[in-house]
Amino acid sequence: MAATLEADLIRNVTTLGHVDHGKTTLMDGLLAANNIISSKLAGKIRYLDSREDEQERGITMESSAVSLKFRKLDSLPQTYVVNMIDTPGHVDFSSEVSTASRLVDGALILVDVVEGVSSQTISVLRQAWQDRLLPVLVINKIDRLVVELKQSPLEAYHHLSRLIEQTNAVMGSFFASERMEEDLRWREEHEKHEVDRNKDEDEDDAADGQDIFKEKDDENIYFAPDKGNVVFTSAIDGWSFRIGKFAQIFSTKLGIKESNLKKVLWGDFYLDPKTKRVIARKHLRGRLLKPLFVQFVLENIWAVYEAVVLHPDHDKIAKIITALGLKIMPRDLKSKDTRHVLSLIFSQWLPLPTAIIQAVIDIIPSPRAAQPTRIPKMLNPSLEESNPSPKNKLEKDLFSCDAHDDAFVIAYVSKMFAVSVKDIPGEKQRSADEVEAGEQGDSNGLQDHPLIDSAEQAQRSGKNPSDNQKQVLLGFARLYSGTIRIGTSLTCVLPKFDNTLGRTHPRNRTYTIDTSVEGLYTMMGRELVPVTSVAAGNVFAIKGLEGKIWRCGTLCGPGATRNVDDQDYMLNLGGIDRQIPPIVRVALEPVVPADMPKLIEGMKLLGQADPCAEIFQQQTGELVISTAGELHLERCLRDLRERYAKVEIHPSKPIVPFRETAVKAPGDVLGKVYGVVAKRRGRIVAEELKEGTALFTVRALLPVVESFGFADDIRKRTSGAASPQLIFSGFEMLDQNPFWVPTTEEELKDLGEKADRINVAKTYMDGKNKEH
């Protein structure tokens, strides 16, 4: 089997959004359409959350990829392959978002219609903007407007309008910031040009016309339903639609051309009941007419929820089914599970996969169309030109996504991830001797890692009966040009490689390692499907990089081109961009001292498999791990215990700075939220009511040393009604002296042993001293 589909029929896309906004549930619906899971399990199984702790917590912690096939039925039916990467929404795992964005050309931006634009929504929109990904806005959980908020269709329309405006305001801020930077850069160059021109009075005046600042149009950066880049969705109930769907349904009935109706179905446009013509707001003349979107879209959807969920009525349900021309067996409608009945109706009327995949195909470009714009920016982030011409064969192959045998092979590995040997098709577990020999050979490619020396010493001393053969590291990659086959010889170019210097330069020599492809796989979430070759434009997994690439890197090869200098195809596409730096540090030691070699090996594997975990050994010999937050630390410790080291571990207390927390909560539990914050020595910064909802957003500053267990405490005290999001804020000085001792009666009463208050600085310092 070979992944050699024509690049024009490939779409590479990721799902981005705030935690709990429905990304994985949406993916379940798409998987069901490909018969990977049962449609009855969609939204419940969370198929791509393959980790046990992901299922327990109900949130995604690692990005997962799946390749889906969809046949588009139009004048020329074609089968498309959509490579989708589901990413975490929690701030602790932001590095997973940055690694995924390097491999794709577009993004589905999911926003919970009730919670609106949240902190991570802005972060992922910024990531998409920086990486030049074309976004599609997916407004999810619209069922909440009906069932929870009990909004009317007209109220829901205004709510949706405000949400789209808020999202566009974020996009506009990115555009304005970029234009200001470009304007400043142009002014500096213009002033320099003026100085040079004054030195040469005879310079041709014809050059004046070229020295003009070119304004860019911001029209194409915004989300607008009539453009098709907004999808309205309820992933849990299995439906979604774009404006074009209802324009198609009602164009004949209203006698309006479908393309014209699509332009007015969203916005302040109304149907005049007398003339049967579409009119704008200025022609209302005081009449209370409903916008077309309310009358022809929302009222129909609301009618289904009214008949099935809010006020169950079998007669109304039967009329709706008849009016929509649906084929549902009468016995299925007798189900007491309203979600099941909703799914039966919507799966035929507004099927979830149809609108999502059509938006992906229509809006997100193919690799061949995307790379001429994205690759130049990856090669030169400061480049201003939109579509520069290629300067050499390497750039020509990359810009055109050339998959021919004579094209240079260039692939970017965004991260390494661990897979059990038993989960790799056809892989036989090697003997302990083979593993030991392989690991000792592989370690040669990791010269920079601080744990390698210790691990090798442990191996040579014979104290490392390693159990890590049960885990294999694969590369998560995108092929930008050429074709890779099993057995292909490639060069791994590490992130510190300098593109301006040759491979033989002393500075670059240690940052290139030769390797051979041992296996190629298409990723199907929990499954790996082996393939014999991969063509340009595809996302894939590759075996043979363990010990060669630490976290990310570029794979380069000459392809079938002969007699070519390796400098002609050697390239570094750069490292990952950590949005959230590791801020929580703990020291680790095995419960059983004899397990130290296993812990060292396990930490080495964890450091390679987790792009945001930093592993190092202090001069004292203490093993330290730095993570992005409490949840990330929990995941790393669990991975060490269960996957990589497989030993019991004793972690020290965390060493952490201050954090900002944002809590979303209903008004009736605000007092409990404030109580938890005060108990943990935090302070409230702001409180804001979400417009159109009963939810408050409370912002507070909390010492991170007090933040461990904060999320669980909030949920317990509010019975799950409030949910916090912790974000690194910065450092603050404590206005207290940890060495000060009260002496006077008044001081003893205020801060003595029997006082109500304590010296917080002394408490934190004493806690730190106990660790040593």
Residues 220-228, mean pLDDT to the nearest whole number: 93
Average pLDDT taken over every residue of the chain: 80
CATH number at residue 136: 3.40.50.300
Q: Are residues 295 and 415 in the same domain?
A: no
760 contacts 734 by C-beta, under 8 angstroms:
yes
Is the pLDDT at 117 greater than 50, yes or no? yes
| pLDDT tens, residue by residue, 482-520 | 999 999 999 998 887 888 887 778 888 888 889 999 999
Whether 468 is covered by a domain: the verdict is yes
- How far apart are the C-alpha atoms of 109 and 15, rounded to whole Å? 6
Q: Are residues 479 and 622 in the same domain?
A: no
Both tokens of residue 94?
Answer: 């932001």
pLDDT given for residue 589 in this prediction: 92
Residues 181-200, mean pLDDT to the nearest whole number: 74
Is the pLDDT at 32 greater than 90, yes or no? no
Q: Are residues 342 and 397 in the same domain?
A: no
Quick one: residue 41, left, alpha or beta (phi over 0 = left, psi -120 to 50 = alpha)? alpha
Amino acid identity, position 179: R
123 contacts 642 by C-beta, under 8 angstroms:
no
The β-bridge relationship of strands 527-531 and 519-524 is: antiparallel
Of the ranges 249-253, 306-310, 576-580, 725-729, which one carries the lowest mean pLDDT score? 576-580
105 contacts 558 by C-beta, under 8 angstroms:
no
Both tokens of residue 432?
Answer: 């302990």
How many other C-beta atoms are found inside a 10 Å radius of the C-beta of residue 343?
22
102 contacts 414 by C-beta, under 8 angstroms:
yes
pLDDT given for residue 164 in this prediction: 96
Is the pLDDT at 650 greater than 70, yes or no? yes
Contact partners, residue 43, CB within 8 Å, separation at least 6: 25, 28, 29, 235, 236, 238
| pLDDT tens, residue by residue, 605-617 | 787 667 678 888 8
Residues 560-571, mean pLDDT to the nearest whole number: 76
pLDDT given for residue 289 in this prediction: 92
Both tokens of residue 732?
Answer: 């603050």
Whether 760 is covered by a domain: the verdict is no
Is the pLDDT at 578 greater than 70, yes or no? no
pLDDT given for residue 41 in this prediction: 60
- How far apart are the C-alpha atoms of 476 and 624, rounded to whole Å? 26
| pLDDT tens, residue by residue, 667-693 | 788 888 888 888 887 888 888 887 767
Of the ranges 128-142, 364-378, 552-566, which one carries the lowest mean pLDDT score? 552-566
Whether 512 is covered by a domain: the verdict is yes
pLDDT given for residue 454 in this prediction: 41
Of the ranges 60-64, 245-249, 410-414, 611-615, which one carries the lowest mean pLDDT score? 60-64
Q: Residue 493's beta-bridge partner residues?
A: 512, 554
Identify which has the larger pLDDT, 459 or 428: 428
Task: Return the top range by mean pLDDT from 22-26, 263-267, 651-655.
Answer: 263-267
Whether 57 is covered by a domain: the verdict is yes
Is the pLDDT at 694 greater than 80, yes or no? no
- How far apart are the C-alpha atoms of 676 and 712, rounded to whole Å? 11
- How far apart are the C-alpha atoms of 682 and 702, rounded to whole Å? 4
Q: Are residues 404 and 361 in the same domain?
A: no
- What's the number of domains the chain is made of? 4
- How far apart are the C-alpha atoms of 386 and 376, rounded to whole Å? 8
Identify which has the larger pLDDT, 411 or 629: 411
725 contacts 117 by C-beta, under 8 angstroms:
no
Q: Give which of 175, 243, 11 is closest to 108, Cα–Cα.
A: 11
**Which three-class secondary structure state does DSSP give residue 274?**
coil
Both tokens of residue 302?
Answer: 């609301």
pLDDT given for residue 611 in this prediction: 66
- How far apart are the C-alpha atoms of 313 and 307, rounded to whole Å? 5
Q: Are residues 12 and 131 in the same domain?
A: yes
Give the full edge-to-edge strand order of the sheet including 2-3: 2-3, 533-535, 483-485
Whether 686 is covered by a domain: the verdict is no
Of the ranges 16-20, 191-195, 407-411, 520-524, which one carries the lowest mean pLDDT score? 191-195
Report the 3 state secondary structure along 450-518.
CCHHHHHHHHHCCCCCCCHHHEEEEEEEEEEECEEECCCEEEEECCCCCCCCCCCCHHHHCCEEEEECC
Contact partners, residue 113, CB within 8 Å, separation at least 6: 139, 140, 141, 142, 144, 145, 159, 160, 163
Q: Residue 481's beta-bridge partner residues?
A: 410
Is the pLDDT at 143 greater than 70, yes or no? yes
Both tokens of residue 600?
Answer: 């060292």
Residues 164-181, mean pLDDT to the nearest whole number: 89
- How far apart are the C-alpha atoms of 40 and 339, rounded to whole Å? 10
Residue with the two structure tokens 């809590």? 663
Whether 53 is covered by a domain: the verdict is yes
What pLDDT band is residue 724 in, cutting at 50, 70 and 90? confident
Hey, what's the torsion of the CAs at 72, 29, 22, 579, to 10 degrees? -60
Is the pLDDT at 178 greater than 90, yes or no? no
Residue with the two structure tokens 């944002």? 662
Whether 263 is covered by a domain: the verdict is yes
Hey, what's the torsion of the CAs at 595, 600, 602, 603, to 10 degrees? 140
CATH number at residue 332: 3.90.1430.10
Percentage with pLDDT > 90 across the chain: 32
| DSSP symbols for 510-546 | TTEEEEE--EEEEEETTEEEEESEEETT-EEEEES-T
From 333, 365, 397, give the residue that closes a domain.
365
Residues 139-159, mean pLDDT to the nearest whole number: 95
Q: Are residues 100 and 165 in the same domain?
A: yes
pLDDT given for residue 449 in this prediction: 47
Percentage with pLDDT > 70 across the chain: 77
What pLDDT band is residue 560 in, cutting at 50, 70 and 90? confident
Q: Give which of 473, 476, 479 is closest to 65, Cα–Cα.
A: 476
In this structure, what are the phi and psi dihedrals at residue 289, rounded to the nearest 5 degrees? -95, 155
Q: Positive or negative, the Cα torsion across 356, 362, 365, 366?
A: positive
CA distance from start to end of the chain: 57
Q: Residue 66's beta-bridge partner residues?
A: 84, 524
Ranges of H-type helices in 364-460: 367-379, 393-400, 432-442, 452-460
**Which three-class secondary structure state does DSSP give residue 220?**
helix
Residue with the two structure tokens 């002609």? 568
Q: Are residues 360 and 380 in the same domain?
A: no
What letters, b where the CB count within 10 A reaches 16 and e where it falls short, cover 230-247?
A: bbbbbbbbbbbbbbbbbb
Q: Positive or negative, the Cα torsion across 400, 403, 407, 409?
A: positive
From 365, 397, 421, give the residue that closes a domain.
365
The β-bridge relationship of strands 10-17 and 78-86 is: parallel
494 contacts 549 by C-beta, under 8 angstroms:
yes
- How far apart are the C-alpha atoms of 523 and 27, rounded to whole Å? 14
pLDDT given for residue 338 in this prediction: 86
Q: Are residues 260 and 346 in the same domain?
A: yes
pLDDT given for residue 750 in this prediction: 62
Is the pLDDT at 53 greater than 70, yes or no? no
What pLDDT band is residue 638 in, cutting at 50, 70 and 90? confident
Q: Are residues 600 and 468 in the same domain?
A: no
Residue with the two structure tokens 């405000």? 162
pLDDT given for residue 85 in this prediction: 86
CATH number at residue 518: 2.40.30.10
What pLDDT band is residue 167 in, cutting at 50, 70 and 90? very high
Domain limits for position 291: 249-350
pLDDT given for residue 246 in this prediction: 94
Task: Return the top range by mean pLDDT from 90-94, 474-478, 695-699.
Answer: 474-478
In this structure, what are the phi and psi dihedrals at residue 219, rounded to the nearest 5 degrees? -60, -40
Is the pLDDT at 109 greater than 90, yes or no? yes
What pLDDT band is residue 207 in, cutting at 50, 70 and 90? very low
Identify which has the larger pLDDT, 528 or 202: 528
| DSSP symbols for 557-621 | E-TT--S--GGGT---------SS---EEEEEEESSGGGHHHHHHHHHHHHHH-TT-EEEE-TTS
Contact partners, residue 409, CB within 8 Å, separation at least 6: 479, 481, 482, 483, 484, 488, 490, 555, 556, 557, 558, 559, 569
Is the pLDDT at 426 greater than 60, yes or no? yes
- How far apart are the C-alpha atoms of 463 and 595, rounded to whole Å? 9
Q: Residue 664's beta-bridge partner residues?
A: 697, 723
Q: Are residues 273 and 404 in the same domain?
A: no
Q: Give which of 303, 304, 278 is closest to 289, Cα–Cα.
A: 278
From 306, 333, 365, give the residue that closes a domain.
365
517 contacts 542 by C-beta, under 8 angstroms:
yes
What pLDDT band is residue 566 in, cutting at 50, 70 and 90? low
Is the pLDDT at 466 greater than 50, yes or no? no
Residue with the two structure tokens 């396990």? 602
What pLDDT band is residue 735 in, cutting at 50, 70 and 90? low
Is the pLDDT at 166 greater than 70, yes or no? yes
**Which three-class secondary structure state does DSSP give residue 67?**
strand
**Biggest distance spanned by C-alpha atoms of the chain:** 92
Is the pLDDT at 12 greater than 60, yes or no? yes
Q: Are residues 517 and 530 in the same domain?
A: yes
What pLDDT band is residue 7 in, cutting at 50, 70 and 90? confident
Q: What share of the chain is helix, strand, coil (3-state, %, to 5)?
A: 40, 20, 35
Whether 720 is covered by a domain: the verdict is no
Both tokens of residue 676?
Answer: 């938890």
- How far apart are the C-alpha atoms of 149 and 552, rounded to whole Å? 45
Amino acid identity, position 211: D
- How far apart are the C-alpha atoms of 713 and 707, rounded to whole Å? 10
Of the ranges 163-167, 375-379, 447-451, which one carries the lowest mean pLDDT score? 447-451
Q: Are residues 327 and 404 in the same domain?
A: no
Identify which has the larger pLDDT, 441 or 271: 271
In this structure, what are the phi and psi dihedrals at residue 193, rounded to the nearest 5 degrees? -65, -40
Is the pLDDT at 441 greater than 60, yes or no? no
pLDDT given for residue 658 in this prediction: 53
Residue with the two structure tokens 């036989």? 428
CATH number at residue 633: 3.30.70.870
Is the pLDDT at 225 greater than 80, yes or no? yes
Amino acid identity, position 86: D
